[in-house]
Chain A
Amino acid sequence: DVKVTQSSRYLVKRTGEKVFLECVQDMDHENMFWYRQDPGLGLRLIYFSYDVKMKEKGDIPEGYSVSREKKERFSLILESASTNQTSMYLCATSAGDREGETQYFGPGTRLLVL
């Protein structure tokens, strides 16, 4: 089974702080994704990566950056946290077989920015 872990389940930060969310997968998957989940909006893609050191912007990249130095690890960085970044953050991976690839999700990090 694919295992996707996220560094924190709950996080409370102050406005202006730099925030790091980490995601680690153990299945040697090529692709990794960061989403945020908000009620009524579903999941929105922030960034994704299809290889080490490669990254692509998703639909809502503003205020975020990412890092993928190793294949198994994909970090999401909030450069200067703001209250409108309070959300549930979900990491996902997929094998890289583009046809109908299934995504595997971590448990999520619920971030509160005060």
Chain B
Amino acid sequence: AQSVAQPEDQVNVAEGNPLTVKCTYSVSGNPYLFWYVQYPNRGLQFLLKYITGDNLVKGSYGFEAEFNKSQTSFHLKKPSALVSDSALYFCAVRDERGFKTIFGAGTRLFVKA
């Protein structure tokens, strides 16, 4: 069965510092991996995805994520955090044979000025 784990409920970082939001996954086949962001009182917005190819994926707002097959991880990163990056971040996974996307529990990112 597919599953996604976001081990941190909350991540705190100072503005200008690099940030990492962690995600690990489990699927039976090749994974399709996604990051979505949710700002207060809004729906989820797509940030980036890994389908195949280069393990480093670049997305919206300066975010990137690295696919690591051996560690079954897909951590979200940004070199320099902004206060406006404060939001709830969801990692999600689908396997190549499945129809459903499984979402993690979410990680709340706080960026302090």
Binding site for B on A (CB under 8 A): 4, 9, 35, 40-45, 48, 50, 56, 58-59, 90, 92, 98-100, 102-108
Contact = CB atoms under 8 A, between A and B. Distances in A.
Contacts, number: 55
Given A9-B41, A108-B43, 10 more contacts: A40-B9, A42-B105, A43-B44, A44-B103, A58-B100, A99-B32, A99-B51, A100-B32, A102-B49, A108-B42
Contacts of A42: 4, 90, 103-106
Given A58-B100, A100-B32, A41 B42 contact: no
B103 A105 contact: no
Contacts of B99: 48, 50, 56, 98
A103 B46 contact: yes
A106 B43 contact: yes
